Amino acid sequence: MPLVTTTEMFKKAYDGGYAVGAFNVNNMEIVQGITEAAREVNAPLILQVSKGARAYANHTYLVKLVEAATIECPNIPIALHLDHGPDFETCKSCVDGGFTSVMIDASSKPFAENIEITKKVVEYAHDHGVVVEAELGTLAGVEDEVKVSAEDSSYTHPEEVEEFVAKTGCDSLAIAIGTSHGAYKFTAAQCTRNEKGILVPPPLRFDVLEEVSKRLPGFPIVLHGSSSVPQEYVKMINENGGKMPDAVGIPEEQLRKAATLSVCKINIDSDLRLAMTGTIRQFFNEHPDKFDPREYLKPARANIKELVKHKLIDVLGCAGKA
């Protein structure tokens, strides 16, 4: 089937108590690993492209890779989404260039300015049959080379969400409840350590999520920064020449709980990067004589696929929902 918007996906996810996975794509192997997983478990899918991905791989290549996936996976709905659109022009370029969903991220701007920019994107996108995700609140972490420190991050204020959604007309809303971008989501000082010495992050603010949902009944909520930073891949990286001490993510049980509530889209990127990097590092360590990219990208793609299957089945709960 052709690319779809997220409208129907989110309605079914909200009513069904699960979330759709939104995975970032930057090259063919990542697209293949994700879509083969979704096809096998029959899950709806959002493939998302950041400003950095467009700069790296080129808009047209990414659109055509995702279109290829729709041909290879004809039975699952796939949406093509712009992740963290920084301005109107980038969103317009993606609306004009075949995306079915865009995010305008003006969350770092003052409230009134965020509304103004988001509204302008919504008007253009809706005129062209494209849906819009907006954001209120600021996540900590690194995204597109912009680093937000924990002190500068801020939880979403629930008392702002009704006015924001009513005035902008956005179709979904990303909120800040304690998730964070990247592989180092929390400093050691923000965490406690369990008996194995592994860092345990502070729990997500489900009270904020519940208050937002109460004010926006039936409205799809989005969580960014939701990688869990699998420790087996951190270990694989560290045992094969890498250096990622104290990388820590969001516990999967908390994401599972969010998915049963009003959260309809959960963004996962760093986990896939860790799987790919760990696998390739291990491959080179074990086969220092090899130099054919197909030989090291094949196991990396296979591990992305296994990881995505696990997320779809055990974390998002969207397997079988295509």
Instruction: Give me the residues that bind Zn ion (CB under 5 A), please.
Output: 224
The site map against ligand G3H for 81-120 (x = CB under 6 A) is --xx------------------------------------
Cα 33 off chain centre by: 15
- Asked whether position 227 contacts ligand 13P by CB under 6 A, the answer is yes
Kind of pairing between the strands at 101-104 and 131-136 = parallel
Among 33, 77, 201, 225, binds ligand 13P (CB under 6 A): 225
The site map against ligand 13P for 262-281 (x = CB under 6 A) is -----xxxx-----------
Positive/negative CA dihedral, 288, 294, 299, 301? positive
Please provide the distance, in angstroms rounded to a whole number, between the alpha carbons at the two ends of the chain.
12
Q: CA 62, CA 71: separation in Å to the nearest integer?
A: 14
Our CA angle for 203, 205, 207, nearest 5°, is: 135
Q: CA 245, CA 100: separation in Å to the nearest integer?
A: 38
Q: Which stretch binds ligand 13P (CB under 6 A): 5-13, 189-197, 219-227, 311-319?
A: 219-227
Active site residue 269: no
What 3-state DSSP class applies to 17?
A: coil
- Asked whether position 224 contacts ligand 13P by CB under 6 A, the answer is yes
The DSSP letter of residue 113 is H
- Asked whether position 21 contacts ligand 13P by CB under 6 A, the answer is no
Identity of the residue, 27 or 42, whose beta carbon is nearer to ligand G3H in the bound complex: 27
Residue 208, contacted partner among Zn ion, ligand G3H, ligand 13P, none, CB below 5-8 A by kind:
none
The DSSP letter of residue 311 is I
Q: CA 99, CA 120: separation in Å to the nearest integer?
A: 17
The site map against ligand G3H for 118-157 (x = CB under 6 A) is -------------------------xx-------------
Cα 185 off chain centre by: 14
Sites of contact with ligand G3H (CB under 6 A) = 24, 50, 52-53, 83-84, 143-144, 181, 269
Sites of contact with ligand 13P (CB under 6 A) = 24, 83-84, 181-182, 224-227, 267-270
